[in-house]
Amino acid sequence: MRVRKAIIPAAGLGTRMLPATKVVPKEMLPVATKPLIQYVVEEALDAGIEHILIITAREKSSIQDHFDRDANMENFLKKVGKADIAKMMSDYLPETGAITYLRQDERLGLGHAIWCARHWAGNEPFVILSPDELLMGEQNCTRMLMDSYEETGGLAIAMQDLPREDVVRYGVIAGTEITLKSGQKVIRADQMVEKPTVEEAPSNHCIIGRYVLDPGIFVHLNKKLAGAGGEIQLTDAISAQLATRDIYGVLYDGERFDCGKRIGWLEANIAAALRSEDLKQDMRNIIKKYANNS
Ligand code: UTP
């Protein structure tokens, strides 16, 4: 079955980024020239996704405003001779109706945020994209997962091989390597653990915030299923499907930035500026200046 839908969970409190996230949602923090959430919306649309559901919460309406047309602003920009900026302001907007918003009324974790989408998802598979995981590799990670799902019919989860000491902050997958018809190597999962200790971790394949799942997940995303940290964990609900469903880990080796923590967000800004034709020379000079002074 073709994957047409994507869910972007954006209702979290972002406590690790306080006080920056006291008033501005974490997903609206800019990286170089645009907010984090715009990167994942673009990743989804570039992969061929047709309909996006953004899970929001109270005090996060700026996310909706960002993807709404501001005709007054566009007209003003044209009037003052900034037609190029006016065009850019409408160019990034997805077509009308492509994004739906739904509020998570209790912050019970990522698993609960996804559970809120059960009626919207209907009978179709869907991608999940975590907006604080910014992926800048050449390949579109969401597209890679969709290809795996469409070829195998098994759930697909993006992963990266990280240093052993980092596994404690991630969900971890272990299993057998197989090669798909497309030539893509994937891991057929036989174990998944959320935030294991270094000793317990069955591998260093860490889950990185992109998934293709299907409505089977909602059976396991029961409110009572609280896991690590008292939150409803998505990884626990996925691993509960291991007995009945093929699940594949798809290795993404492009650059990734964890923008849910300060240093990851700062690094993403530098990396994004160095990729921008407009900004890269100035950014190089700035880096040299500070490197020489430190
Ligand atoms: P995080 O695990 O980073 O949690 O969420 P958080 O609340 O955003 O941030 P910290 O840990 O307090 O700093 C990963 C993704 O899941 C969403 C977040 O918005 C983020 O995009 N999320 C998390 C929800 O939508 N609802 C939740 O209850 C929790």
* DSSP codes of every residue in 110-172: HHHHHHTTHHHHTTS-EEEE-TTEEE-SSS-HHHHHHHHHHHH-SEEEEEEE--GGGGGGSEE
pLDDT at residue 227, rounded to an integer: 56
Closest residue by CA, ligand 1 atom 3: 260
Kindly list the averaged pLDDT for each block of 10 residues, start to end, along the chain of length 294. Answer: 96 96 97 97 98 96 96 96 95 96 93 95 97 96 96 96 94 94 92 93 96 94 62 85 94 96 97 96 95 78
Nearest ligand 1 atom to alpha carbon 260: 3
The separation between CA 140 and the C-alpha centre of its own chain, rounded to angstroms, equals 12
Contact status, residue 256 vs residue 133, Cβ threshold 8 Å: yes
Which residue out of 27, 132, 225 has the highest number of ligand 1 atoms within 8 Å of its CB and is therefore the one to mutate? 132
pLDDT at residue 280, rounded to an integer: 96
**Separation of 14 CA from ligand 1 center, angstroms?**
6
**Separation of 211 CA from ligand 1 center, angstroms?**
16
Closest residue by CA, ligand 1 atom 1: 12
For the beta carbon of residue 211, count every other beta carbon within 10 angstroms: 26
The CA R_g of the chain, rounded to the nearest whole Å, is 20
Cβ < 6 Å from ligand 1: which residues?
9-17, 26, 55, 104, 107-110, 112-113, 130-132, 260
**Separation of 107 CA from ligand 1 center, angstroms?**
8
pTM for this structure?
Answer: 0.95
* CA distances (Å), origin 221, targets 105, 108, 109, 168, 235: 16, 11, 11, 22, 10
pLDDT at residue 1, rounded to an integer: 82
* CA distances (Å), origin 11, targets 236, 248, 268: 20, 27, 21
Closest residue by CA, ligand 1 atom 10: 14
**Separation of 140 CA from ligand 1 center, angstroms?**
23
Cα distance between residue 236 and residue 193, in whole Å: 7
Nearest ligand 1 atom to alpha carbon 8: 21
pLDDT at residue 226, rounded to an integer: 56
* CA distances (Å), origin 123, targets 4, 104, 146, 214, 221: 12, 21, 16, 8, 16
**Separation of 267 CA from ligand 1 center, angstroms?**
20
193: closest CA among 257, 254, 242? 242
**Separation of 20 CA from ligand 1 center, angstroms?**
15
**Separation of 281 CA from ligand 1 center, angstroms?**
34
pLDDT at residue 222, rounded to an integer: 73
Q: What DSSP element (H or E) covers 249?
A: strand 247-251
pLDDT at residue 182, rounded to an integer: 85
Beta bridge partners of 34: 31
